Amino acid sequence: MARVFTPRYCAACGGQLLAPLAASGGPPLVCGRCGLGSYLDPKLAVATVLFLPDQSVVLLRRAQRDQAFGRWILPGGHVDRGEELPSAALREVAEETGLTACVQGLLGVYSYPGNPLVLVVYTALAQPGPLLTSRESLEIRAFGHQEIPWDELGYLSTGQALRQALGLPPEPVAP
């Protein structure tokens, strides 16, 4: 998933956006030139727990250099404005795995304090076909349920969604 930036310039006039001095309950950023307030909306992303017909799960080893670099993640990415969510999930599956799939259902919605991303995760069943890596992955592999690399997953949401999809209890949170 692409990084999320905080905007620096007003969308209306191009003036510099300033953080208000006091938390007033108003918009988090205000234009220093025209005074327009800018609200920072969450960013919507989709991911898919993708099952092959033998019930193995397809994971990608992330090629983008962020905190999840080299670790295993679900196929997924940002939703385009106006795009239907299941279509976005299947588009990302096709782009990142080379597979055609059918959405089975909504698995869950994942969000975390301080993180602008809201992640909607679907389960989908892929048609058999060769797994193809894209620019976004170093490696692509199907894992049997006993082979999931739990200690090498990219994000907290990756493990939480996989546990949920495989019917495993949630991992206990460390005190």
Of 13 and 138, CB closest to Zn ion: 13
DSSP character string of 48-80:
EEEE-TTS-EEEEEE-SSSTTTTSEE-SEEEPP
Of 1 and 10, CB closest to Zn ion: 10
Q: How many residues bind Zn ion (CB under 5 A)?
A: 8
Are 37 and 18 in contact by the 8 Å Cβ rule? The answer is no
Q: Among 4, 7, 9, 13, indicate the residue that binds Zn ion (CB under 5 A).
A: 13
In the complex, minimum distance from the CB of residue 12 to Zn ion, in angstroms, rounded to a whole number: 5
Counted residue by residue, the chain has a size of: 175
Of 13 and 18, CB closest to Zn ion: 13
In the complex, minimum distance from the CB of residue 175 to Zn ion, in angstroms, rounded to a whole number: 47
The single-letter DSSP state of residue 97 is H
By CB under 5 A, tell whether 68 contacts Zn ion: no
In the complex, minimum distance from the CB of residue 4 to Zn ion, in angstroms, rounded to a whole number: 22
Return the closest-CA partner of residue 72 out of 104, 43, 50.
50
By CB under 5 A, tell whether 98 contacts Zn ion: no
The single-letter DSSP state of residue 167 is T
H/E stretch holding 12 reads none
By CB under 5 A, tell whether 94 contacts Zn ion: no
DSSP character string of 126-154:
EPS------TTEEEEEEE-TTT--GGGBS
By CB under 5 A, tell whether 108 contacts Zn ion: no
Token pair listed for 26: 């108003």
**Residues in 27-66 that interact with Zn ion by CB under 5 A:** 31, 33-34, 36
By CB under 5 A, tell whether 86 contacts Zn ion: no
In the complex, which residues of this chain contact Zn ion (CB under 5 A)?
Answer: 10, 12-13, 15, 31, 33-34, 36
